[in-house]
Amino acid sequence: MNEEAPKEQPRNPLHGLTLEAIVTALADHYGWEGLGERIPVRCFNVDPSVGSSLRFLRKTPWAREKVESLYLFMLREERRAGRG
């Protein structure tokens, strides 16, 4: 009954992004091997795929937080590189 509309989050760079889009962007940027080095979890190091990663990350909050943090770090690095 108390249904609130989702709040706009214009300053949140993760707002509106799916976990699939984040994992895909990280895998494209770092490669699976690089992603597995930065976040050493089995789904990135053994027969990695977007599907297996999503299944793991949806059940594992600490790993999802690491993935989201790495994505934000990647965005900051890309912005810095663009300015240079």
- Cβ neighbourhood burial of 80 (10 Å; 0-12, 13-18, 19+): exposed
Give the model's pLDDT for residue 12. Answer: 82
Residue 32 lies in a domain: no
The whole-model pTM stands at: 0.83
Residue 19 lies in a domain: no
Host domain of residue 77? 50-84
Give the model's pLDDT for residue 82. Answer: 86
User: What does the pLDDT profile of the chain (84 residues) look like in tens digits?
Assistant: 555 545 667 688 888 999 999 999 999 999 999 999 999 999 999 999 999 999 999 999 999 999 999 999 999 999 999 865
The structural domain count of the chain equals 1
Residue 79 lies in a domain: yes
